[in-house]
């Protein structure tokens, strides 16, 4: 396997932290190229969660005994870590959710239904994940808002001129845009989008599910009103996500869910809400998962997000220099700024058949429409694509092996 692809980045040392990468898959050494769906977990994350379950677990915020206080401190320390990771002004600006999907549904309910008026509009783009499309359709159908869709260029970049047109009438209340496409790898100009939205009187939400994994995110520099990401793509556990929301918006928005821990007081006649972010965290939270997410953040920060970004840029450059030479392969998206996500199709091969054949070679890729059906229609790939997505443990040798396997698959299908 290829060693460090950037100075000071020892990919083989990093790979040793991920036990699953040492295993075989269908009798072959595992080549995991589906990190965009869910990344593998290092021993540091696994160990932190196991230790919590074995010796430091209790419910949080409620117990007046030492174990509960210890668990509460660990849970809130994870919030501090998330605020540091996004450069949020305060830990209280971080709301824990179950994933990015819940985070965007929270914004759709609490901001959309709570603060937006019927007749106002939400702007999304043609390359959104269903999690940043369906909630706004539900808001449109149940609350009377408009839904406007910003075009992308044939290269897979956001059409900023069209965005300006959609904002021009002043009726847009929210712009909700991916920070990095989960199909095309396109990175959107977040700072420019936020500035355009704010100048038109709109708030802005970024789906950072992919971007936060691959590059440093600074919500203050971007001037994001909302920003979300999910733990399981950041080498952490499933079941926990993060929503950053500006303090003034949290105070103004009504709760999303009702129950324990999000209340200040309850009578049969009336309930008053706890202060944010507790107002948005009803019920027993993902305690063990928060510990795991904290460990994942510590892990990537110890490596350094600039080093991770440089490593993955080198992988993208290598992929763009290698994969187009595979005869009959179509790669979708040619954005100038892109991350390690490649959707592709091979002549005469259905995506599911191709994925199955690659699986026999030990290569794990995604097949289908990747929760982005309208985008696939826009690309003329309605039947689906295969997707290879990189992580910090991906090597150039794995990309070469993928190219060889694709060439072999083309001969097979021909």
What residues act catalytically? 371
Under DSSP, is residue 170 helix (H, G, I), strand (E, B) or coil?
coil
- Report d(CA 224, CA 188) in Å as an integer: 13
Contacts 24+ apart (CB under 8 A), 6-9: 6/307, 6/310, 6/311, 6/314, 8/307, 9/303, 9/307, 9/308, 9/310, 9/311
CB of 54 closer than 8 Å to CB of 406: no
- Report d(CA 82, CA 93) in Å as an integer: 10
What is the phi/psi pair of residue 379, to 5°?
Answer: -85, -10
Cα 381 to Cα 158, 329, 374: the distances in Å are 19, 13, 10
Q: Which DSSP state fits 236?
A: S
Q: Which DSSP state fits 228?
A: E
The pairing of beta strand 203-207 with beta strand 226-230? parallel
CB of 77 closer than 8 Å to CB of 96: no
């Amino acid at each position: 396997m290829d060693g460090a692809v950037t100075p000071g980045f020892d990919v083989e040392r990093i790979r040793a932290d991920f036990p699953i990468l040492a295993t075989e898959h269908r009798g072959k050494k595992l080549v995991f190229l589906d990190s965009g769906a869910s990344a593998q977990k290092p021993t540091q994350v696994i160990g932190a969660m196991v230790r919590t379950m074995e010796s430091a677990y209790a419910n949080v915020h409620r117990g007046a005994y030492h174990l509960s206080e210890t668990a509460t401190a660990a849970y809130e320390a994870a919030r501090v870590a998330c605020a540091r990771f996004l450069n949020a002004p305060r830990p209280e600006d971080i709301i824990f959710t179950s994933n990015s999907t819940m985070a965007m549904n929270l914004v759709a309910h609490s901001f959309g239904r709570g603060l937006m008026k019927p007749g106002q509009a939400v702007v999304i783009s043609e390359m959104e994940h269903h999690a940043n499309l369906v909630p706004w359709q539900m808001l449109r159908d149940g609350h009377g808002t408009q839904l406007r869709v910003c075009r992308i260029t044939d290269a897979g970049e956001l059409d900023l001129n069209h965005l300006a047109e959609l904002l021009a009438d002043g009726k847009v209340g929210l712009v909700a845009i991916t920070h990095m496409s989960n199909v095309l790898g396109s990175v959107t100009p977040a700072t420019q989008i936020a500035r355009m939205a704010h100048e038109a009187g709109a708030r802005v939400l970024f789906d950072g599910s992919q971007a936060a994994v691959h590059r440093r995110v600074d919500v203050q520099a971007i001037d994001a009103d909302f920003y979300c990401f999910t733990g399981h793509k950041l080498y952490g556990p499933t079941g926990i996500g993060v929503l950053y929301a500006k303090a003034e918006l949290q105070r103004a928005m009504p709760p999303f869910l009702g129950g324990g821990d999000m209340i200040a007081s309850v009578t049969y006649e009336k309930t008053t809400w706890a202060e944010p972010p507790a107002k948005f965290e009803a019920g027993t939270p993902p305690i063990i998962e928060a510990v795991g997410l904290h460990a994942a953040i510590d892990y990537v920060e110890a490596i350094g997000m600039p080093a991770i970004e440089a490593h993955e840029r080198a992988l993208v450059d290598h992929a763009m220099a290698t994969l187009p030479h595979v005869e009959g392969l179509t790669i979708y998206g040619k954005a100038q700024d892109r991350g390690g996500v490649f959707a592709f199709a091979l002549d005469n091969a259905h995506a599911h058949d191709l994925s199955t054949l690659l699986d026999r070679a030990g290569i794990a890729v995604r097949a289908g429409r990747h929760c982005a059906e309208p985008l696939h229609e826009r690309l003329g790939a309605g039947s689906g694509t295969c997707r290879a997505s990189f992580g910090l443990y991906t090597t150039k040798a794995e990309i070469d092996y993928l190219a060889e396997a694709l060439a072999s698959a083309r001969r097979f299908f021909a």
